[in-house]
Amino acid sequence: MTATKWAWLLAAGLVIVVAQLTLADELTIAGVHAELVWVLPVAVGLAAGTRAGMAAGLAGGAVADLFLPTPFGLTALAGVLLGFSVGRLGEEGIGDLSGSAWWVAPSIAFGGGLVAPVLFAILGAALGHRSYLSVTLGVVCVLDAVACALLVRPVMRVLGSHVVDDSSRAGPLEPVRGTL
């Protein structure tokens, strides 16, 4: 990961925070809203692989943590694990994303968005914040999953080519070549 790629990820993290504060926070269901921070590691993990996905989780999570009242670093930690999982799934589970059906990336993103809040809540509970495992967690999971599924392809398109870390990969929706 070069400094330029880290800068892209930090900038993307700030853009996501602006979108969160202006749009996502206004659209609440049952008192909760979609958290867009998970879109970054999911999209970058799918577009650019495991290492870039983890970097996106760390950078985007750290930026989001500056604005959140939850423990600093918790979103980054969950983001790293999410970026790793989605990156591996993209590399070894799916492989050729450009050759797959249009709904494959959104489906993986939906799964990632569904798991991310649970991961965050479990890590938070492990740190002593047991209230994170609340009754609204189910609604949060669904909202985050929908947001990830809707936004993953646009974010992959915009960001993918700037953060691809693997020289064997040509672009955001290209497969990893010659890795097997």
- List residues near other proteins by CB under 8 A: 14, 17-18, 21-23, 25-26, 28, 30-33, 35, 50-51, 54-55, 57-58, 61-63, 65-74, 76-77, 79-81, 84, 117, 120-121, 124, 127, 129, 131-132, 134-136, 140
Least separation, in Å, of the C-beta of 26 and other proteins? Answer: 7
Pick 103 or 130: Cβ nearer other proteins = 130
Six-digit token string for 89 = 């799934």
Q: What is the dihedral of CA 133, 138, 139, 141, to 10 degrees?
A: 90
How far apart are CB 180 and other proteins at their closest, in Å?
9
Nearer to other proteins, 27 or 98 (CB): 27
Q: Classify residue 129 as left (phi > 0), alpha (psi -120 to 50) or beta.
A: beta
Distance CA 117, CA 41 (A): 13
Closest separation between CB of residue 132 and other proteins, Å? 5
- Distance, in Å, from the CA atom of 180 to the CA atom of 177, rounded to the nearest integer, reads 8
Which residue's CB is nearer to other proteins, number 129 or number 157? 129
- Measure the CA–CA gap between 21 and 25, rounded to whole angstroms: 6
CB-nearer residue toward other proteins: 3 or 31: 31
